Amino acid sequence: MKTPVEGVGLGLRHDLARELLDRRPSEVRWLEIHPENYVARGGRFQLNLEEARDHWRLVTHGLTCGVGTVERFDPGYTRQLRDLLDAIDAPFHSEHMCFGGIDDTFLHDLLPLPFNAETVKVAAARAKELRDAIERPVAIENVSYYADPLDPGGWTEPEFLLEVLDAADAKLLLDVNNVYVNSKNHGFDPRPYIDRIPRERVVQIHVAGHFTGDDGLIIDTHGEPICDGVYELLAYTIARLGPVPVLLERDQNIPDLDTLLEEVRRLTAIYDRGVAAFEAEHAA
């Protein structure tokens, strides 16, 4: 039987799919997929997707429709995406607050946007376009950035995010690791950032590991274990926002499933404590 989208989930990645589907660990409450891996594909991918759908609730997180893209999205792809979302009964679909291509050229990166009014118009228009095409809510994820994208006289990132979400009537996929990475690389306290986020906008949280270079620059890689600082920021976030489903992202250097499940259990303990703290505060 499917479970609701709650608690801690895991990404359905090809390297782990067969073992995950065979074992069906109870610690994993739901799964996230990248739709680009499944749109218009059959064979093993389709069989794995159908098996996952029969046991878990699935959500989708896209890599190719960043809402900062100036050009309109390919209508052929968005129709295929809608069909996939219908097939798995996805409650919403998420994309990134970035641009990733121009003139039909995909750049294979999540490039940050300037925090200004012109960008708000573009991002809101693309988010509305995608929402109308797939016929379900769209959530937008904050990204990591390594050069400061602030324009003179522009907004802070939380202000910019909220302007886009309000203009598009969109939801937020809050990537706590990206907030942490940006706070370290750009020297700000991440907690006031979290405080600015209205909980009614947040439908999902991402956490992941990152790499710290010899020069101290932190790179969001999804290829390392989660660090203590991200765990601590997640605890603060859940206590602030309440029971928002949390996804463990691991896309590189993927360890064995048991190692990932250890992280899932630690995340679940943090999630449960945070939800209890949130409920106690709001019951008063």
Residue 3 lies in a domain: no
Residue 33 corresponds to which tokens in the numbers above?
Answer: 């997929």
pLDDT tens, position by position, 112-158: 788 999 999 999 999 999 999 999 999 999 999 887 766 656 789 99
Asked whether residue 160 carries a pLDDT value surpassing 70, the answer given is yes
Residue 35 lies in a domain: yes
Strand partners, 174: 205
Q: What is the CATH number of the domain that holds 108?
A: 3.20.20.150
Residue 151 lies in a domain: yes
Whole-prediction pTM: 0.94
Q: What percentage of the chain exceeds 90 in pLDDT?
A: 74
Q: What is the spatial distance between Cα 65 and Cα 213, in angstroms, rounded to a whole number?
A: 30
| Domain span including residue 159 | 8-283
Residue 2 lies in a domain: no
Residue 81 lies in a domain: yes
Residue 267 corresponds to which tokens in the numbers above?
Answer: 């995340």
Residue 221 lies in a domain: yes
Residue 33 lies in a domain: yes
Residue 1 lies in a domain: no
Least confident of 83-92, 193-202, 209-218: 209-218
What's the domain count of the chain?
1
| Beta strand spans in the chain (E) | 8-11, 30-33, 57-61, 93-96, 99-102, 105-111, 138-141, 171-175, 202-207, 210-212, 218-220, 246-248
